[in-house]
Amino acid sequence: MIRLEKRPQPSQFWSNFSPVFAVLLTMLFGGLLFAALGADPFEAIRTIFWDPLFHPNFASYSRPQLLVKAGPLILIAIGLSIGFRAGIWNIGAEGQYIMGAICGAAAGLAFYPSQSPLILPLMILCGTLGGLLWAMIPAFLKTRFGTNEILVSLMLVYVAENILISVSSGLLRNPEGMGFPGSRNFKQWDTVHNSELIANTGMHLGVVAAFIAVIGAYVLMTRHIQGFNIRLSGEAPRAARFSGVNPTRIIFLCLGASGALAGMAGLFEVAGPAGQVSSGFAAGYGFTAIIVAFLGRLNPFGILLAGLLMALTYIGGELAQLMLQVPGASIQLFQGMLLFFLLATDVFVNFRLTRTRKEAV
């Protein structure tokens, strides 16, 4: 019989190198996927990973988009990583992202057409609170009734999506939009639009917030007692309880932090690149950020690099759809392969295959 046996001491080299190996495997099997769809596999991989950065016809547009796409992914993934380090699995960041966008946009639209510079900070605050309060639902249910935060947070995504559809065609619909669903366009509202801080770079307030979150998470997890409590809760729950760590407080802290950052990401997106609340606003960033968090090894600076890489697959994927006529679903499958191979390589980093003789009873 063949079975998995836990390694006494996993290799530090392979533990650090496994994300790179997972990316290489994704390229290999992704190439086979594109070949099965009738595209040149080498051209497809080059289009996704190389052309957005270095092709003379596309790089001028794609390079700024790299930060635009990476900003929300990094911001959400940082929040998720804090909970994952504590063994708290928030899978519903997509719902918190949506609710942050709705609450922040509603706060801004309530003051339309005022040009006050205080409106955008108010929207950021309301967007952050919207995501935080939405994350408090699974936190409360887990601490009060012992429910599973994975299922609750995931089911709340679908509730948030239906709320999004409702408000985009009802409460927040543009009264001057001739009946079409969708809010007013924030890009036409100068003091509220989350525009580029430096022209042609993609650097807006959401990207700045993502970089600040990376530094803040690093300080929290490595220099603060609360970060130690979070890591201890995930690695040795019994030891954490014996040392006086309050598990209820850790649950609320971790889910609150991830919800707040996801809500903030939603607000920056709706006030910036998306421009309005619409039924198609949800872009799947909350789910993709899970891949980013694990690809970055739950390390803030690793998440920064992983977010940029995942953003590259978004931009390159759109380019591949345009140039090679591959379906959009194949790009989503390609991104999913990355998580699959990352988890698969992690299994063999921590376990090894052994053969045992089946003994008669």
Angle formed at CA 211 by CA 205 and CA 217, multiple of 5 degrees: 130
**Chain length of the chain:** 361
Q: Is 195 helix (H, G, I), strand (E, B) or coil?
A: coil
Mean pLDDT of 147-174: 95
- Residue ranges of E strands in 199-357: 351-355
Query: Within 10 A of 284 (CB to CB), how many other CB atoms are there?
Result: 12
Question: 251 CB contacts (<8 Å, ≥6 apart)?
Answer: 86, 88, 139, 142, 143, 149
pLDDT at 74 over 70: yes
Lowest mean pLDDT of 15-24, 74-83, 138-147, 312-321, name the range: 15-24
* Least confident segment among 82-86, 118-122, 152-156, 242-246: 242-246
How far apart CA 239 and CA 146 sit, in angstroms, is: 20
Whole-angstrom distance, CA of residue 310 vs CA of residue 257: 22
What pLDDT, on a 0 to 100 scale, did the predictor assign at position 349?
Answer: 87
C-alpha distances (whole Å) from 11 to each of 7, 186, 276, 355 are 9, 50, 48, 21
DSSP 357: P
Measure the CA–CA gap between 161 and 156, rounded to whole angstroms.
9
Q: Would the CA dihedral through 123, 124, 128, 131 be positive or negative?
A: positive
The predicted-structure confidence for 183-231, as pLDDT tens digits, reads as follows 999 998 888 999 999 888 889 999 999 999 999 999 999 999 999 999 9
CA 34, 39, 41, 43 torsion-angle sign: negative
Please give the pLDDT value at position 199.
Answer: 84
Mean pLDDT of 49-73: 91
Taking all residues of the chain, what is their mean pLDDT, rounded to a whole number?
92
Checking if the pLDDT of 310 tops 70, the result is yes
Q: What would the two tokens of residue 347 be? A: 């299994």
pLDDT computed for residue 92 by the predictor: 95
Query: Under the phi-then-psi rule, with left for phi > 0, alpha for psi from -120 to 50, and beta for the rest, what region is 270?
Result: alpha
Task: Specify the higher pLDDT residue, 328 or 216.
Answer: 216
Q: What distance in Å separates the CA atoms of residue 348 and residue 138, rounded to the nearest whole number?
A: 33
pLDDT confidence tier of residue 359, bands split at 50, 70 and 90: low
The CA-atom distances, in angstroms, between 137 and each of 147, 149, 160, 234, 257 are 11, 9, 12, 21, 13
* Mean predicted confidence (pLDDT) in 76-83: 97
CATH class of 40-325: mainly alpha
Report yes or no: 334 and 30 within 8 Å, Cβ to Cβ. yes
Q: Which H or E element spans position 344?
A: helix 328-350
Give residue 7's pLDDT band: very low, low, confident or very high (50, 70, 90): confident
Rounded to whole angstroms, the Cα distance separating 44 from 34 reads 7
- Residue pointed to by tokens 């669903």: 181
Is residue 45 within 8 A of residue 26, CB to CB? The reply is no
**pLDDT at residue 361 tops 50:** no
Per-residue pLDDT band for 360 (boundaries 50, 70, 90) equals very low
pLDDT per position as a tens digit, 240-273: 988 899 999 999 999 999 999 999 999 999 999 9
